[in-house]
Amino acid sequence: MPAGGQGRKRALGDIAAFLEWAVNRQGLDMKWLSLDSEIVQELIGLKKFSEQIEATPPVKPEQFSWLLDKLKEKKLYELRPAYGLIGYFGLRLAELAVL
């Protein structure tokens, strides 16, 4: 996992919760309790500036309408409903696959 990411932070939190459960409920030695917050922050690390992603500007309504019109114009009828559902309702690809 990349340094400074939410995935690394979540994973370390899960590990800390598991170790706390193991010590409190299963009788594991106390040395396995959670680390100091400074050490945890050091393990999480910092995100490199070059890895930060800038926000993508949103598609304007007229641009989206133009896209749907072009799909109809090029007779791509099987793609038009998919793009419409994604654009209007914010469906993700996995949700679209279920439909």
Class of residue 49 by CB neighbours under 10 A (exposed 0-12, middle 13-18, buried 19+): exposed
Distance CA(44)–CA(38), nearest Å, equals 10
From 37, 53, 36, select the one nearest 2 (Cα to Cα). 53
Distance CA(60)–CA(85), nearest Å, equals 16
Q: Decide: 20 and 12 in contact? Cβ < 8 Å.
A: no
* C-beta neighbour count of 90 within 10 angstroms: 8
Task: Supply the pTM of this predicted model.
Answer: 0.45
Domain ranges of the chain: 6-51, 61-98
Can you give the pLDDT of all 99 residues of the chain as single tens digits?
A: 778 888 888 988 898 899 999 999 999 898 888 777 888 888 888 877 665 567 788 889 999 999 999 999 999 999 999 999 999 999 998 998 888
